[in-house]
Every structure is written in structure tokens, then in C-alpha cells.
Amino acid sequence: MDIRELIKPKINPSIPQISPGDTVKVSLKILEGDKERIQRFQGMLIRVKKGVDGGSFTVRRVTYGIGVERTFSFQSPLIQSVEVLRRGKVRRAKLYYMRGLSAKQARPKERREKVTERAVQQEAAEAS
Amino acid sequence: MLTAIIGKKIGMTRIVLENGEMVGVTAIEAGPCFVTQVKDMDKDGYQAVQLGFGQAKRLNASQKGHLKDINEVRHLHEFRDVDVMSVKRGDKVDVGFLNPGDFVNVSGLSKGRGFAGVVKRYHFAGGPKTHGQSDRHRAPGSIGATTSPGRVLKGKRMAGRMGGKKTTVRNVRVVKVDADRGLLLVEGSAPGARNGLLIIKKVRK
């Protein structure tokens, strides 16, 4: 028996198609006692992991000269939305080399002109 | 009601609970099991329930005789600390006796690690990596004093066979029970490799 067929991960539907190099803004529901608020985390997507649990993605940002990385599960019900602000053109799946770069070096990422998979799917849906 | 069952480890994953908590879980194919024998004081000198699990590939004549009129099970296991009176030979046992939030003990055969050194087997620190060391990186160090006592104390932790032994993880929380599919999710890890046999016993609370 394969666990992948028995227990399907419940992927949060509010997460769009994202890929490494994108600059994203993650809106996260934070529970403080009985109060609820939205926290936003904006940065560059440096890693998308796959796995039996649906996988996870890591966003890196630099604040006040200090690099901060947060990893989110694709299953997380706390994620309200993930906004793609910019599609970066990168040639690697895992952008760990960003950690070694200064802010200036890490900033100018070429824009990707390639149509994303999602756009292709939409076009196909409209055509049919 | 019987509060024990035989299962097979399927693997691990991560799920979100209703309260939003995310937990790592082990999926177990638990049951269905069949009561293959009930041992009693008069005949056997002790009380126990023998359960069978899985589908046998082939059985020899004595096994066939033992399992006459019951499913041809692959694995047999005897449980002594259960409610012997509640079942009879041929009864079916499923995971229905467990509910989310219950606690169980999960036993199985741990992964065999072969002849392992003391660093892996007992978490010794090993020797220094630098400062002119050679061949001392994973060595156990001194194993005793000199003339007095003049021998190595019994039970001294040394390299040897590791794993491949019965291991029990106690007080494991049950996360999900699906009696129809025979699926059981418990929090955390369980002994052994995937497809390994597991014994699940409910903890009395």
C-alpha cells in the first residue's frame, strides 16, 4: 500500500502556482488569544519542496541587513493568500546561493517572459 | 472487547487537524484480524487470544489445519492481557475499538543496522577530528582501568549488532481511525521499516 494514495494532502486552495525566483507576499492568519489578525511576509521564493505531505515553500527576505527565511506548508490552513508580485527568471530550482549574495546582487533579477503553466491552462480552457 | 490489533506500517506523512495544528503521523494498515485461537486455563494453562492478520501466500499442512474454516492469515500473534472472554474463534477484529485521542503502545521490529560502532550505537562522541589524530575519529576511548580490576567490566558498551530488535513506542496518541478501510493514524514515528509488522495495544487510562 502506498501512503500517497491512502492519504491525500489537503492543499490550501488559495495558494497559486508559484516557482522559485518569484517575489511573493504571503498573508498569514495569526491567532492571538481569541483575536485574529493578518500578518504579511514578503520576499523571494527560494525553495519549493515536494513530498507526501503536499510539500512546502520557503520565502526569504532581508530586513535591516538580517536575512529571514520562513517555510510554509502547502497544506497550511493559516495561509489566506499568496500574491505573486514579480516572476523572476532563475536557472536553478533551489536558490540557496541567494544567501551569499548582498542585497544589491540579489535584487536585479530578470523578468521572465515565459507564460506560466497556469496561463496556458486558462487559454486551453477558453479555447475549448 | 479486544483492545489490541496487528497492523502493517504504511509510512509517514503530515496532516492538519481540525484545530489547525499540524502533526507528523504514521499511517498503519491495522487489521482486519481474525481470532484464530482462544487459549484457556484448562487446556493451555494460561489465558490468551491468538489473532491472525494478512493474507498468506502458502501454508503448510499443520497451518492449514490450525486455520481451518478461517481466513488463511499470514501472521499470528498472541495477546495475553486482553479481555479473553469477549471473543471466540473466527471472530473478526478491526480498529473500531480505538478513537482519536486514545493512547496506544506500538511495538515492532526496529530497522537492523548491522554491526554498528559505539558512535552510532550509544551516541559516544568519538575522538577529536583534528590536532594530529589518526584512526581515532570514531573510537570508543578507554574501556577500563589497568591492574585493578584487571578486566573489562561486564555490560561495557561496545560495538556490536544494532537494531532488528523488538521496540515499543509507548503512549502514542491516536489521530485518526478509519475502521472501514482499516486505516489508523498515530502521532509521531513507529518502529521498523515500511511494510513491517506492528502490534498496537490500547493503553488503559
State the Cα–Cα distance between residues A71 and B146, nearest whole angstrom. 55
Lowest mean pLDDT, pick from A49-63, A95-109, B136-150, B153-167: A95-109
Chain A closest-CA separation from residue B7 CA (Å): 12
The domain in which residue B136 lies consists of 114-162
* Total number of domains constituting chain B: 2
Query: What is the nearest CA distance from A39 to chain B, expressed in angstroms?
Result: 17
Interface confidence (ipTM) of the complex = 0.71
A126 against A118, higher pLDDT: A126
Q: Is residue A108 part of a domain?
A: no
Q: Is the pLDDT of residue B91 over 90?
A: no
Q: Is residue A64 part of a domain?
A: yes
Do A1 and B29 count as a contact with CB atoms less than 8 A apart? yes
**Beta partners for residue A41, in sequence order:** A26
Domain with residue B100: its CATH number is 2.40.30.10
Cα–Cα distance for residue pair B35/B5, rounded to 1 Å: 10
Q: Are B145 and B123 members of one domain?
A: yes
Identify whether residues B109 and B121 lie together within a single domain: no
- Does a structural domain hold residue A122? no
Among A residues 1-40, those touching chain B with beta carbons less than 8 Å apart: 1-3, 6-7, 9-10, 31
Given this model, what pLDDT does residue A118 score?
57
- Do B27 and A6 count as a contact with CB atoms less than 8 A apart? yes
Tell me the sheet residues that pair with B78.
Answer: B50
Is B11 in contact with A3 (Cβ distance < 8 A)? yes
Q: Are A46 and A22 in contact (CB under 8 A)?
A: no
pTM (2 d.p.): 0.79
Residue B196 pLDDT exceeds 90? yes
Residues B36 and B102 reside in one and the same domain: yes
Residue A34: band (very low, low, confident or very high) from pLDDT cuts 50, 70, 90: confident
Same domain for B43 and B142: no
B133 lies in the same domain as B188: no
Are B83 and B184 in a shared domain?
yes
A53·B27 Cβ contact <8 A: no
Answer whether A92's CB lies under 8 Å from A99's CB.
no
Which 3 state secondary structure label does DSSP give A13?
coil
Rounded CA separation B159/A121 (Å) = 58
For the segment B56-74, what is each residue's pLDDT rounded down to a tens digit?
Answer: 888 899 888 888 888 888 9
Measured between beta carbons, the chain A residues lying within 8 angstroms of B22 are 73, 75-76
Residues B151 and B81 in one domain: no
DSSP H or E segment with residue A39: strand A35-49
Number of domains within chain A? 1
Q: Same domain, yes or no, for B189 and B118?
A: no
Output the average pLDDT for chain B.
Answer: 91
- For residue B10, give the nearest of A6, A31, A54 by CB distance: A6
The helix (H) or strand (E) run that includes residue A47 is strand A35-49
The predicted pLDDT at position B180 comes to 86
| Structure confidence at residue A102 (pLDDT) | 66
How many cross-chain Cβ pairs, A to B, lie less than 8 Å apart?
A: 43
A111 within domain boundaries? no
Is B10 an interface residue toward A (CB < 8 Å)? Answer: yes
| CB of B133 less than 8 A from some CB of A | no
Q: Which domain holds residue A77?
A: 7-99
CA of A51 vs chain B CAs: smallest distance (Å): 9
Q: Which of residues 140-199 of B touch A (CB under 8 A)?
A: 181, 183, 185
Instruction: Confirm whether A58 is domain-assigned.
Output: yes
> With an 8 Å Cβ cutoff, are B15 and A6 in contact?
no
pLDDT of residue A122: 62
CA distance B53 to B196: 13
Q: Percent of chain A at pLDDT above 90?
A: 28
* Nearest Cβ partner for A77 among B14, B16, B181: B16
- Could you tell me the CATH number of the domain that includes residue A51? 2.30.30.790
Compare A104 and A21 and report the one with higher pLDDT.
Answer: A21
Same domain, yes or no: B28 and B75: yes
Same domain, B20 and B107: yes
Q: Does A101 touch chain B (CB under 8 A)?
A: no
A117 occurs within a structural domain: no
Same domain flag for B40 and B17: yes
The per-residue pLDDT for A109 is 59
- Does the CB of B15 have a partner CB in chain A at under 8 Å? yes
Which helix H or strand E contains A96, and what residues bound it? none
A88 falls within a domain: yes
What is the average pLDDT score of chain A?
82
Full 3-state SS string of chain B: CCCEEEEEEEEEEEEECCCCCEEEEEEEEECCEEEEEEECHHHHCCCEEEEEECCCCCCCHHHHHHCCCCCCCCEEEEECCCCHHHCCCCCEECHHHCCCCCEEEEEEECCCCEEECHHHHHCCCCCCCCCCCCCCCCCCCCCCCCCCCCCCCCCCCCCEEECCCEEEEEEEEEEEEECCCCEEEEECCCCCCCCCEEEEEECCC
Is A75 close to B16, i.e. CB distance below 8 A?
yes
Q: Minimal Cα–Cα distance from A16 to chain B, Å?
A: 20
Inter-chain contact A3–B13, Cβ cutoff 8 Å?
yes
Of the pLDDT bands very low, low, confident and very high (cuts 50, 70, 90), residue A121 is low
B38 shares its domain with B64:
yes
